[in-house]
């Protein structure tokens, strides 16, 4: 059992499994002391150029949006030798994001509590699981709509239906995400993890996107945030 738990944690740290294109590696960079801000990023190899890239985002969890100073992105014209990975791109980009993290008092050790983790690439849009710390029952449905635009490209959107039945018997239901936002070249969405922030109220849902990148496809990450009543 300990070995399985360790494997799950390694999976979270290193990203998802094999994929026929670029697989981005996720990094949880932590919350501010009041859980009002969350920082995360990912990095990988661009499927077209083979060059390392990184992206870092600072999220206002109450607004469910990036802060005005919270988007960082870079690609680097460097080749990787055998045995090397693209983590250097992330470290280099993070050096430019340190001041923004400091302004929001991001604590990189305050990463929240993981209440759901997708294992073995589970792509189910309907999740049902228990928070074993609180004994609350969670049911989450990802509702996605995928259409074809006039130019033949894929356009999609999604929203989340969330229901939580407390151990006390009380139930709450809410919606998250914005189905009105339509994303070009994104063909699929999947929930990869759900984290409860240190305040016990703020929820961060990490959503994986499958999208066209140049001549190939790849995986990218985004988050949706909301507050429990």
Q: What integer pLDDT is reported at residue 119 of this predicted model?
A: 85
pLDDT for res 152: 85
Strand pairing report for 37-45 and 52-60: antiparallel
pLDDT computed for residue 3 by the predictor: 33
At 86 the pLDDT is 87
Whether the Cβ atoms of residue 92 and residue 54 lie closer than 8 Å to each other: yes
Ranges of the chain whose pLDDT falls below 70: 1-22, 81, 83
Q: What radius of gyration, in Å, describes the C-alpha atoms of the chain?
A: 18
**Cβ neighbours of 208 (radius 10 Å):** 23
Q: Give the integer Cα–Cα distance in Å for 23 and 45.
A: 8
The pLDDT value given to residue 22: 61
- Contacts of residue 58, defined as CB under 8 A and 6 or more positions apart, other chains included, come to 37, 38, 39, 66, 67, 69, 70, 71, 97, 100, 101, 104, 106
Query: Which are the contacts of 70, defined by CB distance < 8 A and separation ≥ 6?
Result: 39, 57, 58, 59, 60, 100
CB 84 within 8 A of CB 52: no
Q: Which residue has the tokens 């969890």?
A: 61
Q: Which of 64, 60, 38, 41 is nearest to 198 (CA)?
A: 38
N-term to C-term CA, the chain: 34
- Summarize pLDDT for 144-171 with one digit per residue, the tens: 999 998 888 899 999 999 999 999 999 9
Q: Write the CB contacts of 5 (distance below 8 Å, at least 6 apart in sequence).
A: none
Q: How many domains does the chain have?
A: 1
Quick check: 164 and 138 in contact, CB under 8 A?
A: yes
Task: Please report the beta strands in the chain, taking only residues with DSSP state E, as ranges in sequence order.
Answer: 25-31, 37-45, 52-60, 65-75, 113-117, 126-131, 136-148, 154-165, 171-176, 183-184, 186-196, 202-213, 216-227
What pLDDT, on the 0 to 100 scale, is given for residue 105? 98
For tokens 């004994």, name the residue. 135
Q: Residue 143's closest CA among 130, 156, 129?
A: 156
C-alpha triplet 50, 11, 142: angle, nearest 5°: 90
Q: Which domain holds residue 39?
A: 2-227
């Amino acid at each position: 059992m300990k070995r399985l738990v360790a494997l799950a944690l390694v999976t979270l740290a290193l990203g998802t499994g094999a994929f026929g294109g670029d697989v981005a590696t996720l990094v949880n960079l932590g919350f501010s002391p009041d859980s009002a801000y969350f920082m995360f990023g990912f990095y990988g190899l661009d499927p077209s150029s083979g060059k390392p890239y990184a992206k870092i985002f600072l999220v206002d969890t109450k607004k469910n949006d990036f802060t005005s100073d919270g988007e960082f992105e870079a690609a680097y014209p460097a080749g990787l030798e055998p045995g090397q990975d693209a983590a250097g791109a992330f470290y280099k980009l993070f050096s430019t994001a340190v001041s923004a993290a400091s302004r929001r008092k991001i604590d990189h050790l305050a990463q929240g509590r993981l209440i759901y983790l997708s294992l073995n690439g589970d792509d189910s849009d309907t999740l049902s699981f228990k928070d074993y710390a609180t004994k609350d029952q969670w049911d989450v449905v990802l509702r996605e709509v995928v259409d074809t635009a006039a130019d033949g490209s894929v356009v999609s959107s999604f929203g989340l239906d969330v229901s939580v039945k407390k151990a006390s018997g009380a139930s709450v239901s809410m919606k998250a995400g914005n189905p009105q936002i339509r994303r070009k070249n994104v063909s699929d969405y999947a929930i990869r993890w759900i984290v409860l922030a240190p305040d016990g109220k703020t929820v961060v849902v990490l959503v994986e996107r499958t999208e066209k990148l140049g001549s190939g496809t790849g995986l990218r990450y985004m988050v949706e945030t909301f507050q429990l009543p």
